[in-house]
Structure 1
């Protein structure tokens, strides 16, 4: 009985082959871009998409792991701890749409969360921490990437990024890192908005009155859609991008890195 229980827990925590494939794609494309092997723009595209999906997996994993330690013992049986994107409750919301948003507009719009049995968890602070765990992953990833770019260790004057045959001021690989950092920072900020359906509201919700939560609940499924519409139909996206760049500047990173990184990422243009 003990052996069966131990084996089951081991399987619940075993990293999925899908995640290993994402890591392999991230590492291989990163090496290709850094070494100048193959088509740089397509390499940057693969690197950013793979890196973005890895961070999404880690984002959802953080929600799930925190929920498990807070009292939801069903997390493991749902497969949330395997880092398999196909195990999450809303694969479309959690992974497909965020990748499409990156391709369309270059902003790290957050996706859906794992399904957590909240009734098993006692204490408002625990509920808030579960919601905060995901955006914290994006914060950590963003800081790590910006530190790497600022270090200059990946800048290679002999491998400058190119535009229509002209050499640019930065190399392709640190530019890819800069764009991926831009996505992480934007995802963290957007996720922390107190909008129903986003993690920011999840942090706040346990501290609201029962009446307020009931009033807001019908709008939760449309929170992310509302953010998407506002960003693409108003000037909010420009204001938001300026805010993200200001944060990037705090780490001593020039606009050139994420800007060139996004240009290289969109290999189907120009």
Structure 2
């Protein structure tokens, strides 16, 4: 018992708090990203995701441990892909493109909502208290991770969403050939993200920063609305 007490006292709570403030936003971003894919696919006529139990807000149904770790450490990651049967769509390639675009679009919307609420809290100032400060910090992290996830997924490299949108413009024969190489894409992406994160050349990070900056209008709107709560 004494040993456990010593371990408890020796814990670096600031590190654990920072970790928690990153993991929760990452789970939110990943879960809603995959849910968007599944929901849009369902609305377009494919119930595969629903039958697989993926139309849920339960993050355990969506997370990929490696992808979550990458998200927390490098700010770019992924989840377990939602199963989609494109042949159930009236127009398979078009339906697949719309379904693929839904994930990044959801992340951009999440970022806008988070920044808007953050603006309201910022306007309220010290009245939000310590808990409010944690919430505000988590909102900013969620907004940034959402923009990063959106940027990462529009890269036209299989199996990312951008590749599925791009494939809708190629011939069926070329589409089949490109899909064959999808299994190798993630390996290339993991290596690329790791190497780029260790250099000054980080196009994904710069693109995410740019998008985050472009979306700050939501925080300004929230800041103005925050007058009503003072």
Aligned twin of 1:12:
none
Aligned twin of 1:240:
204
Of 58, 68, 76, the residue aligned with 2:32 is 58
Of 112, 127, 140, the residue aligned with 1:178 is 140
Distance 1:121 1:253 in 2: 35
Aligned twin of 1:189:
151
The equivalences for 1:124-143 within 5 A come to 124-143=93-112
1:140-191 Cα deviation digits (max 9, x unpaired): 111122233344146539979xxxxxxxxxx554333222211110100111
> TM-score normalised to the size of structure 1?
0.64
Aligned twin of 2:46:
72
1:60–1:253 Cα change, 3 Å: closer
Is the aligned partner of 1:111 residue 2:79? yes
1:217–1:41 Cα change, 3 Å: same
Aligned twin of 2:193:
231
In the comparison of the two structures, how many residue pairs are matched?
200
TM-superposed CA distance for 1:211, in Å, is: 2.3
1:109-151 Cα deviation digits (max 9, x unpaired): 2334111122222213222111111111111111122233344
Of 67, 78, 84, the residue aligned with 1:98 is 67
**2:151–2:207 contact (8 Å) kept in structure 1:** no
Q: Which runs of 5+ in 2 are unaligned?
A: 1-12, 220-230
Aligned twin of 2:8:
none
**2:46–2:88 contact (8 Å) kept in structure 1:** yes
Distance 2:47 2:127 in 1: 52
1:58–1:248 Cα change, 3 Å: closer
Q: SS of the counterpart of 1:79?
A: coil
**2:48–2:83 contact (8 Å) kept in structure 1:** no
1:176–1:84 Cα change, 3 Å: closer
Q: Which runs of 5+ in 1 are unaligned?
A: 1-38, 89-93, 161-170, 255-270
Q: Which has the higher helix share?
A: 2
Distance 1:191 1:184 in 2: 11
1:185-205 Cα deviation digits (max 9, x unpaired): 010011111111001111222
**2:111–2:147 contact (8 Å) kept in structure 1:** yes
Aligned twin of 1:147:
116
> How large is the Cα RMSD of the aligned pairs?
2.9
**1:40–1:172 contact (8 Å) kept in structure 2:** no
Distance 1:62 1:156 in 2: 36
> TM-score normalised to the size of structure 2?
0.74
TM-superposed CA distance for 1:78, in Å, is: 1.5
